[in-house]
Structure 1
């Protein structure tokens, strides 16, 4: 019985993680992204967790895992979009990476800078804002074409005060990588 309950709790946490890791569920051009899918899953099944004695242990295991992963590729779920901080990473193959600001922005504008540091992969990135009602608005959508080159894209997006800003990367190549540096600065 304990094994069944633990398996159910782990599956409940693993489903959102699998959704986040599955490239076919989200594309960079879609502001809904995988975060809304996982929110729907939690809305539907979250109440089950309160009845499972091991659910809190699974949540602690995922929290521990993410702490050990330190924002690397191994992190389960979205990463924090930290303002005025260089966030580095690599998209390898047809995967997604989502950055979400922890709190609504207190400024009306945010400058987004994405620098391609290395790699050949075609990669899309989309910047969105989400209001308190959950409405999502695409602010910027760019695709970096295949090729071994470096380039920097910069855009100041406005109308983001009291909104949560997100950045979503989507790799299109089967095996190539896209090494990047992301920086969001409030203006």
Structure 2
């Protein structure tokens, strides 16, 4: 009997630890690959060729997701590009990565419009130097009420923004819309 109780306690601890383990690691790896592709950030780069490069990468990501049968891995969040939406099932996560920002100030908006899952959010930035810094965190509560949370990020010019969301529930879902806009 003691063995069973100890096993249950360990299992509960492990589940809670996994649910709380929230970070930007998955997005940071993609950010590093992005920096390898683009090289050093040049603040005087013009927006038109930059947007064309972003569109090429977005097309490749969309092709991989469509032909791979899943949306595993980070997805592109284009700043001022409209809403992305999704559904995070129990104990899974979604990560979004932006291209380097042209603006010092960006607002990330997450709209929980359905589902009951308690869901943690961590927002980080990564500069060309490879240093990833956490800028914000938040936890959507376990309730059915829709909720909109806005995050204003300062000093993000030339940095990639990473948004990681993890559903901390076992059986509940988290339906959301997310967007990023220059402020």
The root-mean-square deviation of aligned C-alpha atoms, in Å, is 2.8
Aligned residues: 138
1:1-187 correspondence to structure 2 within 5 Å: 24=18, 27-28=21-22, 30-31=23-24, 33-36=25-28, 64-68=63-67, 74-84=70-80, 85-101=82-98, 103-187=99-183
1:151 offset after TM fit, Å?
Answer: 0.8
**1:100 touches 1:167 (CA, 8 Å); kept in 2?**
yes
Q: 3-state SS of the aligned residue for 1:132?
A: coil
TM-score (norm 2): 0.67
**2:28 touches 2:162 (CA, 8 Å); kept in 1?**
no
Q: 3-state SS of the aligned residue for 2:136?
A: strand
Residues 140, 185 of structure 1: alpha-carbon distance in 2 compared, 3 angstrom cutoff? same
TM-score (norm 1): 0.66
Structure 1 stretches (4+) deviating beyond 3 angstroms?
23-27, 35-40, 62-65
Distance 1:150 1:25 in 2: 22
Residues 121, 184 of structure 1: alpha-carbon distance in 2 compared, 3 angstrom cutoff? same
- Unaligned runs of 5+ residues in structure 2 are 1-16, 33-60
1:64 offset after TM fit, Å?
Answer: 4.5
Q: 3-state SS of the aligned residue for 1:66?
A: helix
1:76 offset after TM fit, Å?
Answer: 2.7
- Unaligned runs of 5+ residues in structure 1 are 1-22, 41-61
Aligned equivalent of 1:16: none
